[in-house]
Amino acid sequence: MNYVQIIYEYDKLMDQLDVEIKNSNYKIQYFLDLLQIKRSFFYKKLKEKRFTSKEMKILSKSLFPDAYKDYEVQIINELIKKSKKQINDNEGLDFELFLNEQKEKYGL
């Protein structure tokens, strides 16, 4: 997906956000607590489609739990792949050396 498609998909998601929230298993108060905002401000953001990307990340965990789990698995797999490559390329850190450095750094 290219950047332009992502922008249009995001716009479409913002248009459908009120429906997604209504169809979720949660009450509005749950989302208010998650975002730590007042009800009137929440509805204003919803009407004006002004949620920040940080707020959307918070909402996505509850609104799209399956997609969020898939995303987490994808990220973890990428990190594991990167770590394996670093180990194979001898770019890894010696655990004992790292542990001693951190103990010294934090006075443990």
Contacting residues for 18 by C-beta, under 8 A, at least 6 apart? 46
Same domain membership, residue 41 and residue 88: no
Q: Which of 39-43, 51-55, 86-90 has the lowest mean pLDDT?
A: 86-90
Let me know whether 45 and 59 are in one domain: yes
Give me the number of domains the chain comprises: 2
> What is d(CA 56, CA 50) in angstroms, rounded to the nearest whole number?
10
Q: Are residues 72 and 98 in the same domain?
A: yes
Examine the pLDDT at 92 and tell me if it is beyond 80: no
Contacts of 42 (CB under 8 A, 6+ apart): 28, 31, 32, 35
Residues 55, 68: one domain? no
**73 and 58 in a common domain:** no
Q: Is the pLDDT of residue 97 over 90?
A: no
Q: Are residues 59 and 93 in the same domain?
A: no
pTM here is 0.72
Q: Which of 46-55, 75-84, 89-98 has the highest mean pLDDT?
A: 46-55
The neighbour count for residue 56, using CB atoms within 10 Å, is 14
Same domain, 6 and 59: yes
Query: What whole-number percentage of the chain has pLDDT above 70?
Result: 100
My answer on whether 52 and 103 are in the same domain is no
Q: Is the pLDDT of residue 1 over 80?
A: no
pLDDT for 58:
95
Q: Is the pLDDT of residue 63 over 90?
A: yes
Residue 9 and residue 43 in one domain: yes
- The whole-angstrom separation of Cα 7 and Cα 104 is 46
Identify whether residues 69 and 98 lie together within a single domain. Answer: yes
What domain range includes position 30? 1-63
